[in-house]
Structure 1
């Protein structure tokens, strides 16, 4: 880690020795990256399994289309639990600190994912099997509801001010790495294992592997110091006594705009990762499931570069312009993408999914990593980011699977309805970018949300952004 001038360090870290600051910045990056990788490995793997495995193994034989809808319904249950996890752990994170909550959430999230790997199937346990799957999805979602928000806040509060966009985006390479690993593992399992063996025990192996990531994440997080911002809040006795009350009063505008910003990024991500696979491997299209899954793998590989790149660009040109580019790109990309998916050519489908994830989605994710924490005041930042992220995860990501699967079943796999759905999400996010002020370089010790700036501070921020 290169030397960081004291003047460029985050608020509250100016007096910290250089070696100590550099070491904690490295640990924060690694800690957040591994947590992100585990979360998105589990969720991407679950999405792949939902479309191609769980609909077969956890429901009685019968209507294949409705079994897929039911499987995506359980997939959506995890999203329903996320806002409650975000609310519960987010409030604790603003009262107890970022580090403590991140240790708890990685245990809960990873433990539930590991247990999915030992579940009985419908053949051996009947309806107990999908019930247990629902319970574990609830626990997985409850823990994940604060994991990503915590990682986002942790990095924003540790990162050098002038490079906050870039550094805040670095841990989110873990999202791409986790999704890439899930796509790679799934593709290899389906290609190398006979179908009977894969459906018998092969699908369990990726979930059981989550245990290894838990141990690595716990080791790193145990050595991490609390963020400089939270230390300053404790020092000056500015910890919020009632962060939930604050977020639903003064913080509500930020949460609403944050939800809007996430609709295209989150919804588009899950539509390209899971729903597109269900669409192109359906009886109407008939592509090979293992081959098309490489689109997710390639998209995540692109994201390893596009996420930090767009984070860096947001340091130079501002968070809002870069975010708006991603939203408009997805809006323009939607109809050509779903039409090309309907053509039924494997190479084209792989390319469409890869560009959708790697460029359209991740052009928003890069600047989002610093934008969301900068939108909220210090006293309720963890909770604000968690609420914006997780309510949008239900409205966008959770509904993307179950509603999309239902639309496929009701319209006999008509691509136009899916394109309209994704275009709607992109239009919402594009509109939301006109509601948020530029936040680049904002002082994270401020207790006021960016959407509640005084006129004087707003003028100052605009002048600073123009320089």
Structure 2
């Protein structure tokens, strides 16, 4: 059952989705550059007397720490989005990302400033975490409010098209720079180049975002309780914890498959360049799959999609990561296929991740509710994934890490039963 939209209204809504999505692409590109180039700036920004494992644990610890800024970012930008408008929130967050990217490119080395270098790395990364924390809730809310009735899953999937697209572009940039620069040149300062590119891209995106139309009504923005944590926890606390339950497993598997797998494959003895190609090809397929799985959710409902995601991932993640990948590590093609297989299961969640959450909160606390619940689950379970996995590895029990992932997926599976059986959001516009 579809609502009739005029051609101009359709065009206007699609323009808004493209504008929000393009900024999302840049935000996540800037954020993921860290993961792609961490190998090259680790030695420059950490103490030389540390062994390489300790240096890596610090750098990935900083990566995890940035996720703990997300709840603060989601609260701050969620309040702005629910009180002063989605557009204003998205514009401020992209400005903050531009500033922090340029600051990252200008970071002094340990050789220049001593212990101040790892400290400044942490500070700048926390600014990036603050920016991205504000991004998710505002974009998910904006796209859910602009999506065409009966096609919301399809349109909302572009949040993860651009999120994974940002990751893909960061990975692709790593491959390109390795084609033009030697590993030594990247270690000697070439790692700064991608952060400059990210800062420039953020400024370009700012121009697109400044032209967006607002979706927040005056009636919702004028409510005294709009965008407040008091309102969120007083009247919507059950929904909040339910969304944290989805996000915990969703973010954990997302970071295991799209970020930690790079380190995991390298540890299997696959050389750096080959791992780069495997990740780039897999992320490209993953990005293209998002609208397909988003459209599927419009047919089968969000509940069925969430149950399929958590159930299938629970069954397959251990045998694929622990048994199949080491067995086929001699064949990059089969490893890529295995990674893509897991990414397709993950797509059942990521394509509708923001939409499922946005549809559970009313407009006056929607951006805050979506962003804050996502950020809390992400901070505790998502961003910590590479660091926790490395600590399991250091303790000689790396495979046990995947048991932890399975437990979180079981919780997500149970939480998914709480979604409505009859997907009313496929019938009604809001």
Following superposition of structure 1 onto structure 2, how do residues 398-413 of structure 1 map, counting pairs within 5 Å? Answer: 398-411=383-396
Find the aligned partners of 2:278 and 2:415 in 1 and give their Cα distance.
29
1:156: which partner in 2?
144
Question: C-alpha displacement at 1:18, in angstroms?
Answer: 4.7
- The answer to whether the Cα contact below 8 Å between 2:98 and 2:200 also exists between their aligned partners in 1 is no
1:299: which partner in 2?
282
1:373: which partner in 2?
358
1:60: which partner in 2?
47
Following superposition of structure 1 onto structure 2, how do residues 406-425 of structure 1 map, counting pairs within 5 Å? Answer: 406-411=391-396, 414-425=397-408
The structure 2 residue matched to 1:179, chosen from 167, 184, 205, is 167
Question: C-alpha displacement at 1:275, in angstroms?
Answer: 2.0
Question: C-alpha displacement at 1:238, in angstroms?
Answer: 4.2
User: Cα–Cα, structure 1 residues 241 and 316, in superposed 2: closer, same or farther, change >3 Å?
Assistant: closer
Find the aligned partners of 2:179 and 2:331 in 1 and give their Cα distance.
15
1:464: which partner in 2?
none
The structure 1 residue matched to 2:183, chosen from 195, 220, 239, is 195
433-442 vs 24-33, which moves further? 433-442
Residue 375 of structure 1 aligns to a residue whose secondary structure is coil
- The answer to whether the Cα contact below 8 Å between 2:30 and 2:199 also exists between their aligned partners in 1 is no
Find the aligned partners of 1:440 and 1:242 in 2 and give their Cα distance.
23
- The answer to whether the Cα contact below 8 Å between 1:72 and 1:405 also exists between their aligned partners in 2 is no
Following superposition of structure 1 onto structure 2, how do residues 184-263 of structure 1 map, counting pairs within 5 Å? Answer: 184-227=172-215, 229-231=216-218, 233-234=220-221, 237-238=222-223, 240-241=225-226, 243-263=228-248
- The answer to whether the Cα contact below 8 Å between 2:149 and 2:429 also exists between their aligned partners in 1 is no
Question: C-alpha displacement at 1:440, in angstroms?
Answer: 2.6
**Cα deviations by residue, 1:234-288 (Å, 9 ceiling, x for unpaired):** 5xx5463562111112111111111111122211121223322223324xx3321
Gaps spanning 5+ residues in structure 1: where? Answer: 10-16, 446-467
The structure 2 residue matched to 1:350, chosen from 336, 343, 361, is 336
User: Cα–Cα, structure 1 residues 290 and 346, in superposed 2: closer, same or farther, change >3 Å?
Assistant: farther
User: Cα–Cα, structure 1 residues 350 and 81, in superposed 2: closer, same or farther, change >3 Å?
Assistant: same
The structure 1 residue matched to 2:317, chosen from 314, 317, 334, is 334
**Cα deviations by residue, 1:336-359 (Å, 9 ceiling, x for unpaired):** 222233344351443333333x31
User: Cα–Cα, structure 1 residues 431 and 243, in superposed 2: closer, same or farther, change >3 Å?
Assistant: same
Find the aligned partners of 1:296 and 1:53 in 2 and give their Cα distance.
18
Question: C-alpha displacement at 1:112, in angstroms?
Answer: 0.8
Find the aligned partners of 1:150 and 1:43 in 2 and give their Cα distance.
17
**Cα deviations by residue, 1:282-321 (Å, 9 ceiling, x for unpaired):** 4xx3321221122321232122222111111111111110
Residue 352 of structure 2 aligns to a residue whose secondary structure is helix
- The answer to whether the Cα contact below 8 Å between 1:267 and 1:396 also exists between their aligned partners in 2 is yes
- The answer to whether the Cα contact below 8 Å between 1:55 and 1:67 also exists between their aligned partners in 2 is yes
Find the aligned partners of 1:75 and 1:287 in 2 and give their Cα distance.
24
User: Cα–Cα, structure 1 residues 387 and 242, in superposed 2: closer, same or farther, change >3 Å?
Assistant: closer
Question: C-alpha displacement at 1:172, in angstroms?
Answer: 2.7
Question: C-alpha displacement at 1:23, in angstroms?
Answer: 4.0
1:457: which partner in 2?
none
Find the aligned partners of 2:176 and 2:227 in 1 and give their Cα distance.
49
Instruction: Determine whether 1:429 maps to 2:412.
Output: yes
Find the aligned partners of 1:206 and 1:41 in 2 and give their Cα distance.
10
- The answer to whether the Cα contact below 8 Å between 1:191 and 1:290 also exists between their aligned partners in 2 is no
- The answer to whether the Cα contact below 8 Å between 2:226 and 2:365 also exists between their aligned partners in 1 is no
1:454: which partner in 2?
none
Residue 425 of structure 2 aligns to a residue whose secondary structure is coil
Find the aligned partners of 1:294 and 1:324 in 2 and give their Cα distance.
32
TM-score by length of 1: 0.85
2:255: which partner in 1?
270
Question: C-alpha displacement at 1:382, in angstroms?
Answer: 0.7
Find the aligned partners of 1:291 and 1:202 in 2 and give their Cα distance.
20
1:448: which partner in 2?
none
Find the aligned partners of 1:248 and 1:442 in 2 and give their Cα distance.
28
Find the aligned partners of 2:248 and 2:395 in 1 and give their Cα distance.
24
Question: C-alpha displacement at 1:65, in angstroms?
Answer: 1.4
User: Cα–Cα, structure 1 residues 335 and 36, in superposed 2: closer, same or farther, change >3 Å?
Assistant: same
Residue 307 of structure 1 aligns to a residue whose secondary structure is helix
Instruction: Determine whether 1:144 maps to 2:132.
Output: yes
2:292: which partner in 1?
309
Instruction: Determine whether 1:32 maps to 2:20.
Output: yes
Find the aligned partners of 1:78 and 1:45 in 2 and give their Cα distance.
14
| Aligned positions, number | 424
